[in-house]
Structure 1
């Protein structure tokens, strides 16, 4: 498998899963709608993130007046009976053969959020079942 980055993270036998990211909104173009995506893959031995095991993703401005956008997603569509279209809360296969799932959207206003941080989170900390085999390439923020 090809990686765009020199290092990726692989999840090996954990019960508590939490991934957090942060980006200064000053890095984003103004008056632009961005999609925020987790870019990942699964090993053939991956378990604990299948169709019946959803995780929570959220994104928003740290300390901002607006609440973070939160949704539930499925990371392992291999055990799902639905299509692989990536519609809704299931991952989509990218051209580079990595998977991506939309964590949310952010609209960068003209100067309103200067100095703030866009924060992103993926977590499953309630069921505490064993999880393994998640390979995270990163979180991609791109104009829609």
Structure 2
């Protein structure tokens, strides 16, 4: 799908999106950027332009100790079929500021645009101390996993809840799990909500 001289394609028109292929399997991977048309700077977060590490024109800076919610939704049909995927938050800490500690994440496939409430059995505790360094200079932390069947017309919905602290978010990345035995469970920023 990619031109022979390209490792990835990046779009920054309507929504920031990076598409690339997993080098091991050749399966589709995506990074949905934190920018969103019509989103304005608000209480607890703001968008900044020109972050030298980001592939996108802007990133979200979260700076609210009261808590921030991050939601993202993407059609399941864009993923490679019959594949176990994982969703990762791609972020970086802000020097000399309070680091996030824990949050709750939910990753699931839903049908229609509404998730009809959180699925408690899909919730997991995200501990930011367990994050990994990436080769592109960002950090990542696993938010959850989901199973793309042979035919799936649903949407993959990702939520990060009760996240407090100060950090920069580039986006949410979706990649196939490295091994099936790593499978833990079965399942464009659409909004950032402050409470």
Please give the alpha-carbon distance, in whole angstroms, between the structure 2 residues aligned to 1:133 and 1:123.
Answer: 15
Matched residues, number: 119
Matched, 1:69 2:122: yes
- Aligned-residue RMSD, C-alpha: 1.9
Please give the alpha-carbon distance, in whole angstroms, between the structure 2 residues aligned to 1:45 and 1:62.
Answer: 39
Displacement of 1:25 in angstroms is: 0.6
Q: 1:36 aligns with which of 75, 83, 87?
A: 87
CA contact (8 A) 1:22 1:118 kept: yes
Query: Which runs of 4 or more aligned residues in structure 1 lie more than 2 Å from their structure 2 counterparts after TM superposition?
Result: none
Please give the alpha-carbon distance, in whole angstroms, between the structure 2 residues aligned to 1:48 and 1:15.
Answer: 13
Deviation by residue 1:85-144 (Cα, 9 ceiling, x = unmatched): xxxxx1111112211001111111011x22x1110010117xxxxx44210000000122
3-state SS of paired residue (1:139): strand
Structure scoring higher RCO (CA < 8 A, sep ≥ 6) equals: 1
Q: 1:138 aligns with which of 149, 155, 171?
A: 171
Please give the alpha-carbon distance, in whole angstroms, between the structure 2 residues aligned to 1:37 and 1:143.
Answer: 11
CA contact (8 A) 2:93 2:99 kept: no
Aligned to 2:137: 97
Deviation by residue 1:50-108 (Cα, 9 ceiling, x = unmatched): 3xxx11011001258xx562211122x3xxxxxxxxxxxx1111112211001111111
TM-score by length of 2: 0.56
Structure 1: stretches of 5+ with no match in the other structure: 78-89, 126-130
Q: 1:59 to 1:118 in 2, by over 3 A?
A: same
Please give the alpha-carbon distance, in whole angstroms, between the structure 1 residues aligned to 2:64 and 2:144.
Answer: 27
Please give the alpha-carbon distance, in whole angstroms, between the structure 1 residues aligned to 2:167 and 2:53.
Answer: 16
CA contact (8 A) 1:8 1:136 kept: yes
TM-score by length of 1: 0.74
Displacement of 1:38 in angstroms is: 0.5
Aligned to 1:110: 150
Matched, 1:57 2:105: yes
